[in-house]
Amino acid sequence: MATAATTAARPAGRRAEAFSLGPFLLVPASLLVVAFLAAPLVVLFRYSFNRYSPREFMIDAFTLENYARFFTDAYFIGVLATTVQVAAVCTLVSLLFAYPLAYLMARTESRWKSALVIAVVFPLMVGNVVRAAGWMAVLGNEGIVNHLMLSLGIVSQPVRLMYTPFAVYVGIIAVVLPYMILTLQSVIEGIGRDVEEAAANLGAGPMTTFRRVLLPLSLPGVIAGGTLVFILCMNAYATPVLLGGPQFKMMAPALYDQFTRTTNWPFGAALAFILMTSTLVLTIVGTTVLSRRMHHRKLEAAPR
Amino acid sequence: MSELILDRLRKEYGSFVAVDDVSLRVEEGELVALLGPSGCGKTTTLRMIAGFIEPTAGRITIGGRDVTWDPPYRRDTGMVFQSYALFPHMTVAQNVAFGLEMRKVPRAEAETRVRRALDLVRLGHLAARLPRQLSGGQQQRVALARALVVNPGVFLLDEPLSNLDAKLRLEVRVEIRELQKRLGLTTVFVTHDQEEALTLADRLVVMDHGVVQQVGTPEELYESPANLFVAGFIGRSNVLRGRLAERGRFISKGGLALAVPADGMAPGEAALALRPERIGVAPGASDGGVVGRVALVTYLGAATEYRVTLDGGETITASVPTPRPGDPLKLVSAGDAVTLTWPAESCRLLAPGPGATPDEGGL
């Protein structure tokens, strides 16, 4: 009896210890987040209601004119539209590119698997700016692609590839692809190969197995990877600036311009919050639509 | 249902031979168990039949059709996986309906068949559940229903009971056998559990190192094992090594001269296999038997085992019905002399070779 009582008491005591220590472990990270993220955001949010004056820089006020200016100016609406479009296309394309590779990496039993993972992670070690510079060398008028096309006689004059939307798309997709691959890979690894075999055994060909079994089961990975990549794309800065040129404007470079070039902090702050809110709203809408689909299928199944 | 034929089926991984020229004919409606220790090639063989592994050589025929190079989804097999492999995002009914859907069975008919299959495994009331809401035994039965509903030509079971607890295992075992008999399913069953194989199968295929050691009914394997491996793997055997001096007379390494059946083997080096339960034990040393000293008495409830050391140093284990109170055998304990007797025809002479039991002589 006595031993039973002590063994029963011990786990409870241990749990109590963990509980008392837990909150303290969160303190450093919480302080960091409050100091370097929450506080500046609050300040910035307040700025977005101030009034801009070229002479006095910023006048304390409480006005919505910065937001009103954004939504009445076709130029800025266009910048936001471009940003959303780039983010959506890049997310979709990287999903299509990443899935087969992620599947291969999740399923391979080759001893080269870790080499494959390193190859995918490696680009993350190269900064965006360095990478954009590399793309310049590839896509420029004197770059490798044009050189190749000229010498092969496919074109007679260099084709403009740099400072085009195409260059931005390529550049951003290359940046976000590893994130998508790694997210999908970990989710696909969690799906047993045996369920795919079961589907095949029951008569499902590879495409049907993908559509009916693999894709629905990997949807959480698609949602997670899509969210991560979409947010990264929405906030892309270096790639659109360096590969898109001055004509191609996305939100992050636009708001940076407001802060540095025109020193219009209130409008810049408003742009920042519009970017943040639209990213947030689109992400939430996207994930709910997808996960409701997942959920729907289950509900549909229930009455049968 | 159809007949399944494996013709010199072979699988090599580099220089490692996983399955070494396995030939087997499974008749219509027959249940054949592939039995052997882990790594013996039984699962590889089953997966080649299902089409998940391409053979290096050989042929697989189902119902007269050569399917050796067909992808799994064009073979007429229904497989129950060791892990059940249910689709976690589909309900029980959707899981079972999947194979019918792939075969483009009309919806109304499919619904009837799904209901019938679920009733067959007594899960009709759980059709709308998701697999994770079911117990292990219930998931197992869903897997059975899912494989059976399509009327597969060959029914394949990969250690289907290994994830169940002991009591459930017995229940499901009986259930599988009943279903298989009732539906007349041509079945291949993989297991490493000899008891499971003996009770379930019409015929057993004992494998080791990718090679078929023996094929036969449970009784054939038990009564006439083809070699030391089978003698030790199916049930247990005492193994005495020595030589056959002449037909009918075996002399063990320890110097024991024994009468053995006079058939078969020519004189020379040999091993003798003897089932523990064929040996009688009498207290005290007497003529007309083999005398030894008890090394260990193990009480097993219905039976009691006596591990006896012979004068020549060899040990023999005898298993007898537990003596009742008053029986002089009841008083025998370690160190006492006993006399062992057995009919000569219980001895099985086998070619000398590596056996399955590392503890030679004493099981």
Give tens-digit pLDDT for B84-109.
Answer: 999 999 999 999 999 999 999 999 99
Does residue A15 have a pLDDT over 80?
no
Query: Domain limits at A178?
Result: 61-296
Within a domain: residue A198? yes
Within a domain: residue B363? no
Task: Tell whether B186 and B120 lie within a shared domain.
Answer: yes
Asked if A203's CB is within 8 angstroms of B99's CB, the reply is yes
Asked if B89's CB is within 8 angstroms of A216's CB, the reply is yes
Chain A, 216 to 235: residues with Cβ < 8 Å from chain B are: 216-217
Question: What CATH number has the domain bearing residue B9?
Answer: 3.40.50.300
For A303, name the nearest residue in chain B, comparing CA atoms only: B128
Does residue B65 have a pLDDT over 90?
yes
Asked if A208's CB is within 8 angstroms of B102's CB, the reply is yes
Determine the residue type at B180: Q
Question: What CATH number has the domain bearing residue B337?
Answer: 2.40.50.140
Within a domain: residue B131? yes
Asked if B130's CB is within 8 angstroms of A202's CB, the reply is no
Question: What CATH number has the domain bearing residue A149?
Answer: 1.10.3720.10
Does residue B294 have a pLDDT over 50?
yes
> Which one of B158, B191, B223 terminates a domain?
B223
Residue ranges in A160-262 assigned as alpha helix (H): 165-189, 193-201, 206-209, 215-234, 238-244, 251-260
Distance from the Cα of A120 to chain B's closest Cα (Å) equals: 29
Segment B344-357 shows an average pLDDT of: 77
Within a domain: residue B62? yes
The interface predicted TM-score of the complex, written ipTM, equals 0.84
Within a domain: residue A34? no
Are the beta carbons of B327 and B210 closer than 8 angstroms? no
Within a domain: residue A172? yes
Specify the pLDDT at position A297. Answer: 58
If you average pLDDT over every residue of chain A, what do you get? 88
Within a domain: residue A302? no
Segment B188-199 shows an average pLDDT of: 90
Percent pLDDT > 90 in chain B is 63
Query: How many domains does the structure of chain A reveal?
Result: 1
> Which one of B196, B223, B250 terminates a domain?
B223
Task: Tell whether B333 and B247 lie within a shared domain.
Answer: yes
Which residues in chain B have their CB less than 8 angstroms from residue A212's CB? 98
Segment B58-75 shows an average pLDDT of: 94
Task: Tell whether B54 and B106 lie within a shared domain.
Answer: yes
Within a domain: residue B358? no
Specify the pLDDT at position A12. Answer: 47
Query: Domain limits at B133?
Result: 4-223
Within a domain: residue A51? no
Place of tokens 């039949």: B49
Token pair in block for residue A182: 């790694």
Sequential DSSP letters for A20-84: HHHHHHHHHHHHHHIIIIIHHHHHHHHHTTSEEETTTEEE-----HHHHHHHH-HHHHHHHHHHH
Task: Tell whether B267 and B345 lie within a shared domain.
Answer: yes
pLDDT band at A291 (very low <50, low <70, confident <90, very high): confident
Task: Tell whether B276 and B180 lie within a shared domain.
Answer: no
The shortest CB-CB distance from B89 to any of A197, A202, A217 is to: A217
Within a domain: residue B360? no
H or E element, residue A153 = none
Span A133-180, pLDDT tens digits: 888 889 988 888 988 999 998 888 888 888 999 999 999 999 999 999
Specify the pLDDT at position B158. Answer: 93
Distance from the Cα of B58 to chain A's closest Cα (Å) equals: 21
Task: Tell whether B74 and B43 lie within a shared domain.
Answer: yes
Task: Tell whether B157 and B261 lie within a shared domain.
Answer: no
Q: Is B87 helix (H, G, I), strand (E, B) or coil?
A: coil
If you average pLDDT over every residue of chain B, what do you get? 90
Within a domain: residue A141? yes
Query: How many domains does the structure of chain B reveal?
Result: 2
| CA atoms of B195 and B173, how far apart (whole Å) | 11
Task: Tell whether B320 and B171 lie within a shared domain.
Answer: no
Of B58, B154, B124, B361, nearest to A304 (Cα)?
A: B124
Task: Tell whether B330 and B283 lie within a shared domain.
Answer: yes
> Which one of B168, B192, B223 terminates a domain?
B223
More confident residue, B268 or A231: A231
Task: Tell whether B259 and B150 lie within a shared domain.
Answer: no
Task: Tell whether B247 and B203 lie within a shared domain.
Answer: no
Within a domain: residue A24? no
Span A220-271, pLDDT tens digits: 999 999 999 999 999 999 999 999 988 899 999 999 999 998 889 999 999 9
Asked if B128's CB is within 8 angstroms of A302's CB, the reply is yes
For B51, name the nearest residue in chain A, comparing CA atoms only: A201
Does residue A13 have a pLDDT over 50?
no
Does residue B360 have a pLDDT over 70?
no
Within a domain: residue A22? no
Within a domain: residue B359? no
Which residues in chain A have their CB less than 8 angstroms from residue B98's CB? 199, 202, 204, 212
